[in-house]
Structure 1
Amino acid sequence: MNARSIPSSIPSGRLASLDILRGFDLFMLVFFQPVFVAFARHWSETPVFSFLLKQFNHIPWVGFSAWDLVMPLFLFMVGTAMPFSFEKYLANPDKWEIYRKITKRFVILFILGAVVQGNLLSLDPLRLRLYSNTLQAIAVGYLISAILLLHLSRKGQLVVTFLLLAGYWALLTFLGDFTPDGNFAEAVDRAILGRFRDGVSYAEDGSWSFSDSYRYTWVLTSMVFGVTTMMGVFAGQIMKYGKDKKKNCQLLFVIGVVLLLFAWLLSFQTPIIKRIWSASMTLWSGGLCYLLMALFYYVVDYKGCSKGLNWLKIYGMNSIVAYTLGMVVNFRSVAHSLLWGLEQYTGDYYAAILTFANFLILFFILRLMFKQQIFVKI
């Protein structure tokens, strides 16, 4: 990982829409959702806020909310950037340099994922969770996509991506069911990760058990982490190699609609379940990612209308810092030290104000880094 400064003018080969869309996703994750939910809970009986609160929470099992799109969009955007960042390596027969970078990024993301999860620095092996975080899913999706991008033609990439999706669908369809206890991805995680799976609890006698409430799957689900990232790669290829930006927008939009249609049809057999990243959920979230990418690409890169949106680059161009600080560092103690006198006047809203101040501090840190043109890259 390194911090570097870049010129204030973004290179022409860089997708401004991607930086802004990434910033939008990070802003929703580390600022808007925590702050909005903290305040909106006080008005939860109002129909509008009740509906919005449901959209900012994960669906327990079958179904899909707006909040369920945050993680797939992360993976999708990682893939979207890859045709641009890998360009100079594709024609080089010596892949050692790029594989060194891929390995470094994979390891750093995996370690950061363990830090974000909150157990790595405890130095207690019993609290270590091997594979349980969005950054680790990104690392795996990135690795799969990098191998396909470096060694296969575009047709080969499409074929292998389809086989990964079809293979995952077949394993979950024929080797289990789509219930929390009966799905095959759950069985694989329990068998491979064992006591190092997230959600495991320990009794005083040292015995351990799996949680009935933790239902996210990772090991087998890596297949479709790769699929989601590859869908981003295909979007990136459209925008990089397509000469007509308007046609690129149209193609992205059409692909998004087609993916949503196929997802809806498949959902009659394979329910849309984000927690196990079911095949229908992979297509559904992929379709929404394509539509969002089409929208941002149309407005920012085709129409050139980025006014009022460029501030999102504060998050988008330091995404790793934004995510890691937002998930790990709690600035509430700083806010409480400065604002504690307000508690007697704000009552139940004081906790929400602290939440707002916590993420406002993070925003100013990211803004300062952006102003100083310090961008942390892996």
Structure 2
Amino acid sequence: MEKQKLQRLESLDVLRGFDLFCLVGLEVIVHRMRTPINQSWYDKFLWNFSHVEWAGFSPWDLVMPLFLFMSGVSIPFALSRYRSEPNKLPVYRRIVKRFLLLWIFGMMCQGNLLALDPSRIYFYSNTLQSIAVGYLVSSILFLHTKIKSQIGIAAGLLIVYWLVMQSVTVGNFGGGNYTPDGNLAEWIDRTVLGRFRDGARLVDGEAIFSDWYRYTWILSSLNFVVTVLTGLFAGYILKNKETDSKKKWQLLLGIGIAMVVAGWLWHFQMPVIKKIWTSSMVLVSSGYCFLLMAIFYYWIDYKGHKKHLTWLKVYGMNSITAYMLAMCINFSCIGQSLLQGFEQYIGDWYPVLIAVANAVIIYLVLWGMYKRNIFLKV
């Protein structure tokens, strides 16, 4: 716990807050409105708040890449002063501490660590852990290599992922197969994680994998690093004092458009698939992240429109806390205890009311921390 003292990039805080607001507040509410509204147009609208089944990309598929991207944007602002220091042991401790905490928090959120049931512990299965991996590698590269080397490494990792997926074959997996049951990343996760993969269970000593779980993590870690690195490159632009503000948002915009076009062109050979974090998906998602960063920077830091945005900073400046509150604690019991009398009057809208109450409680906790300048960091 520490008090905020350094000048911050407000557009980054607001963008991070927007991402967290959608994740911990808005999504559940809009989905619960489906039943009371019961209209075909609303079902189509919900596509914006739903992950695509496999190949393709929806707005909701951007939530996780944006989280990784923004962790990269913050690296130049947080670690620049350590680059010239000969003794980097203190910063190494800081980086490793963050890695370990994010990993444990990820197991708490999605690995069911809090269930205290060994059969439900999953080792690598959460957004926070993908951030941990990407942040660890990107931070070390930032401290020890130049930007040209970092760009080369990012491009190399995208190509390595593609080459492995295209050329390596194990049984019925791999060899350019990008189906849910035949891609190499699926085989690697099954082999390496085994029983500790999310959705897996032991039956007579053998790991049985659930058909509904198709996310991969081991091979995908190569591209988790690239996603964070793309944020790092945006951070370079935003922190550079020699580049004027107008040029900054123009650069972000141009790079974003180029990456989106390149990613969708690559889609014809390597499909854009978020669940296995394909290289084409990295370009598409990071391109959209650049565009969002350009828009938020243009409006907030360049044009100076900062009014009425504090509510998003409340989420953005305690983003890990917001995520942990939403993933680990169910506040619905409070709403149900206080508002149960309304169920008889509003019928199908009652679950929506409870979802709103849950979101409000989380916000009030974050708002109280914000007002007291309490910012929990890892």
TM-score category, normalised to shorter length = over 0.9
Aligned to 1:25: 19
Work out the CA distance in 2 between the residues paired with 1:163 and 1:42.
49
Q: CA deviation at 1:6?
A: 2.6
How many residues are paired up?
Answer: 370
Work out the CA distance in 2 between the residues paired with 1:117 and 1:325.
13
Work out the CA distance in 1 between the residues paired with 2:114 and 2:264.
43
Work out whether residues 118 and 328 of structure 1, in 8 Å CA contact, stay in contact via their aligned partners in 2: no
Q: CA deviation at 1:351?
A: 1.4
Aligned to 1:286: 286
Runs of 4+ in 1 over 3 A off after TM superposition: 205-208
Aligned to 2:237: 238
Which is further off, 163-172 or 288-297?
Answer: 163-172
Work out the CA distance in 2 between the residues paired with 1:96 and 1:375.
25
Aligned to 1:59: 52
Work out whether residues 44 and 53 of structure 1, in 8 Å CA contact, stay in contact via their aligned partners in 2: no
Q: Residues 103-127 of structure 1, C-alpha deviation per residue, up to 9 Å, x if partnerless?
A: 1000000000000115212333222
Q: CA deviation at 1:207?
A: 4.4
Q: CA RMSD in A?
A: 1.2
**2:124 maps to amino acid:** Y
**1:225 maps to amino acid:** F
Q: Residues 72-95 of structure 1, C-alpha deviation per residue, up to 9 Å, x if partnerless?
A: 000000000000101110111211
Work out the CA distance in 2 between the residues paired with 1:155 and 1:207.
47
Work out the CA distance in 2 between the residues paired with 1:207 and 1:234.
44
TM-score normalised by length of structure 2: 0.95
Work out the CA distance in 2 between the residues paired with 1:288 and 1:44.
31
> Aligned with 1:59: secondary structure?
coil
Aligned to 2:200: 200
Q: CA deviation at 1:70?
A: 0.2
Work out the CA distance in 2 between the residues paired with 1:292 and 1:182.
34
Aligned to 1:84: 77
Relative distance call for 1:144 and 1:201 in structure 2 (3 A) is: same
> Aligned with 1:6: secondary structure?
coil
Work out the CA distance in 2 between the residues paired with 1:174 and 1:181.
17
**1:233 maps to amino acid:** L
**1:45 maps to amino acid:** Q
Work out the CA distance in 2 between the residues paired with 1:82 and 1:41.
43
Q: CA deviation at 1:206?
A: 5.4
Q: CA deviation at 1:44?
A: 4.3
> Aligned with 1:377: secondary structure?
coil
Aligned to 2:339: 339
Aligned to 2:89: 96
Structure 1 segments unaligned to the other structure (5+ residues): none
**2:189 maps to amino acid:** D
Aligned to 1:275: 275
**2:262 maps to amino acid:** F
Structure 2 segments unaligned to the other structure (5+ residues): 169-173
**1:159 maps to amino acid:** G
Work out the CA distance in 2 between the residues paired with 1:377 and 1:354.
29
Work out the CA distance in 1 between the residues paired with 2:277 and 2:233.
20
TM-score normalised by length of structure 1: 0.95
Work out whether residues 79 and 145 of structure 1, in 8 Å CA contact, stay in contact via their aligned partners in 2: yes
Q: Residues 119-156 of structure 1, C-alpha deviation per residue, up to 9 Å, x if partnerless?
A: 21233322210000000010001011011111111111
For residues 245-264 of structure 1, what are the structure 2 equivalents within 5 Å?
A: 245-264=245-264
User: Identity of aligned pairs, percent?
Assistant: 51
